[in-house]
């Protein structure tokens, strides 16, 4: 389907959506139809995104911002149009959008630059994260604390998989300098009240970051409504390419922060005595950027915005309810996290069966899920497990996919028990 095609805004046609993803028609292990339920790790790409990247390389490939020729001007226009597209998607301004390699680099960029800016003032203060964070939102802050003497505090996760907001209100205090919180857990699928948590940070003068890697594909993300200082996500979970990510940063905050990396494109002047830097966002985009990634991400956003959001939410909620019900009916199966307030991400363990063994047997039947600790080892420890199986849906997931998943799961359990 071409990039100008439309998806009905009056009813959600999952089969029309699915037809736009060429990989979903392939088979694995010879002639076994693919059932792709690993969308929280990475989503598949519609044909229009694939075509946009191909077109760029076929007709407009050049470096951006500095070329004095037609191709350079075309590439620059496409790249900056992508920035504007992302800004509109987030309810932000283009100068508040920084392109990175992904969520992980985005968090590292903010942690490194912001901590360099505040420097020694962090000694005796604290940084707050939660007990359900991805390693990418734990390790960079641990490094900041080790370097500066700040204390790392962790918001408790309740037994039902939700955050303890009362505990958050206790540990976010006058000594808090930064709060970094996940919007949607990649393991539990739970949606956190990030607006409330950012408000708590703002009330004590702390900066706030929201990890939106799993949220942008499931929730409307308006930066002014959330009230965060920073928001980060990865393109590949939003039906876009890998190797491209986004940092939203409030313009007034970015203006105070030093560069993350040095090199070309981010400088104003360079001498051997000193260098001066461009304003944000260019100050934070050293070197040749991922032009094709940004272009592909913009096309993915345009594709995604053609889907009626209410119809999509209804479709995904139905899938999540169905998947949760199917899994809950299996003896000895335990689902981590809440039954409500979650998107289509379900992590589970089965008595006496290792997640890796389960993943192998499902794969033999064409069903792709994720197994392991999902880069949330502290959360695994909190629930007393070392790994889980995780199934996750997307806009193109059908009821037939869930039928195949259930059938394959029962077969695998029968073989392993």
- Looking at residue 338, its pLDDT comes to 79
Same domain, yes or no, for 411 and 383?
Answer: yes
Which structure tokens are listed for 274? 């000193």
Boundary-marking domain end, from 287, 305, 323: 305
Sign of CA dihedral 99, 60, 239, 378: negative
Which residue's entry shows tokens 């990649």?
186
- Looking at residue 68, its pLDDT comes to 87
Same domain, yes or no, for 219 and 259?
Answer: yes
- Looking at residue 11, its pLDDT comes to 73
Same domain, yes or no, for 290 and 324?
Answer: no
For 384, the domain range is 14-45+308-416
Residues facing 234 on adjacent strands: 245
Which structure tokens are listed for 185? 């857990």
The H or E element spanning position 75 is: helix 70-90
Between strands 151-155 and 126-130, the pairing is parallel
- Over the chain (417 residues), the average pLDDT of each successive run of 10 is 42 94 97 98 98 98 91 97 98 98 98 96 97 98 98 97 97 98 97 97 98 96 96 98 98 97 95 97 97 98 96 94 94 88 89 97 98 98 97 97 98 95
As a three-state string, the secondary structure of 310-330 is HHHHHHHHHHHHHHHHHHHCC
What's the total number of domains in the chain?
2
Boundary-marking domain end, from 289, 305, 321: 305
Express each pLDDT in 400-414 by its tens digit.
999 999 999 999 999
- Looking at residue 339, its pLDDT comes to 72
As a three-state string, the secondary structure of 146-169 is HHHCCEEEEECECCCCCECHHHHH
Q: Tell me the CATH number at 85.
A: 3.40.640.10
Same domain, yes or no, for 292 and 319?
Answer: no
Same domain, yes or no, for 314 and 290?
Answer: no
Rounded CA-CA distance 168/153 in Å is 10
Among the listed residues 48, 145, 228, 375, the single catalytic one is 375
Contacts of residue 308, Cβ cutoff 8 Å, sequence gap at least 6: 7, 8, 9, 10, 12
- Is there a contact between 182 and 211 (Cβ–Cβ < 8 Å)? yes
Q: Tell me the CATH number at 334.
A: 3.90.1150.10
Same domain, yes or no, for 86 and 23?
Answer: no
Please say if 375 is a catalytic residue.
Answer: yes
Which structure tokens are listed for 263? 């090199």
Boundary-marking domain end, from 305, 336, 369: 305
Residues facing 126 on adjacent strands: 151, 176
Which residue's entry shows tokens 């790392």?
152
Query: Residue 4: inside a domain, yes or no?
Result: no
H helix runs in 137-290, sequence order: 139-148, 165-171, 194-203, 223-226, 251-254
Same domain, yes or no, for 105 and 171?
Answer: yes
Which structure tokens are listed for 182? 């996940």
Query: Rounded to whole angstroms, what are the CA distances from 249 to 233, 293, 331, 417?
Result: 12, 20, 47, 51
Which residue's entry shows tokens 């790994």?
387
- Angle of helix 103-118 versus helix 139-148 axis, rounded to 10: 20
Rounded CA-CA distance 351/102 in Å is 36
At 393, give phi and psi (nearest 5°).
-100, 175
Same domain, yes or no, for 288 and 406?
Answer: no
Same domain, yes or no, for 298 and 371?
Answer: no
Which structure tokens are listed for 407? 């059938």
Torsion-angle region of 263 (φ positive above 0: left; ψ -120 to 50: alpha; else: beta): left
Residues facing 178 on adjacent strands: 127, 207
Same domain, yes or no, for 224 and 84?
Answer: yes
């Amino acid at each position: 389907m071409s990039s100008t095609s439309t998806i009905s805004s009056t009813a959600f046609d999952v089969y029309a959506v699915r037809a736009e993803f060429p990989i979903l028609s392939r088979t694995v292990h010879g002639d076994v139809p693919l059932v792709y339920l690993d969308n929280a790790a990475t989503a598949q790409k519609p044909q229009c995104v694939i075509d946009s990247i191909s077109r760029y390389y076929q007709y407009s490939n050049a470096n951006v911002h500095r070329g004095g020729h037609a191709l350079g001007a075309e590439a620059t226009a496409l790249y900056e149009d992508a920035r504007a597209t992302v800004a509109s998607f987030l309810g932000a301004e283009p100068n508040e959008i920084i392109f990175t390699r992904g969520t992980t680099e985005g968090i590292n960029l903010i942690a490194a630059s912001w901590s360099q800016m505040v420097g020694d003032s962090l000694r005796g203060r604290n940084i707050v994260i939660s007990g359900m964070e991805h390693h990418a939102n734990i390790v960079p802050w641990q490094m900041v604390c080790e370097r500066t003497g700040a204390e790392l505090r962790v918001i408790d996760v309740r037994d039902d998989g939700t955050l303890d907001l009362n505990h958050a209100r206790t540990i976010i205090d006058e000594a808090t300098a930064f709060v970094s919180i996940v919007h949607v857990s990649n393991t539990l699928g739970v949606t956190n009240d990030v607006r409330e948590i950012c408000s708590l940070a703002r009330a004590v003068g702390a900066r706030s970051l929201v990890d939106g890697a799993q949220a942008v594909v499931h929730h409307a993300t308006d930066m002014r409504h959330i009230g965060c200082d920073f928001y980060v996500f990865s393109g590949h979970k939003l039906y876009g390419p890998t190797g491209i990510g986004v940092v939203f940063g409030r313009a007034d905050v970015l203006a105070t922060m030093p560069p993350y990396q040095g090199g070309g494109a981010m400088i104003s002047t360079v001498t051997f005595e000193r260098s001066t830097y461009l304003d944000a966002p260019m100050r934070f985009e050293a070197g040749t950027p991922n032009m094709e990634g940004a272009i592909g991400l913009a096309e993915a956003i345009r594709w995604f915005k053609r889907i009626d959001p209410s119809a999509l939410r209804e479709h995904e909620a139905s899938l999540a309810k169905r998947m949760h019900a199917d899994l809950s009916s299996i003896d000895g199966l335990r689902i981590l996290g809440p039954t409500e307030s979650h998107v289509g991400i379900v992590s589970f363990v089965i008595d006496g069966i290792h997640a890796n063994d389960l993943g192998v047997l499902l794969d033999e039947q064409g069903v792709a899920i994720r197994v392991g600790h999902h880069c949330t080892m502290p959360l695994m420890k909190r629930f007393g497990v070392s790994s889980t199986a995780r199934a996750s849906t997307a806009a193109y997931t059908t009821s037939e996919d869930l039928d195949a998943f259930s059938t394959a799961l029962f077969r695998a359990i029968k073989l392993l028990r």
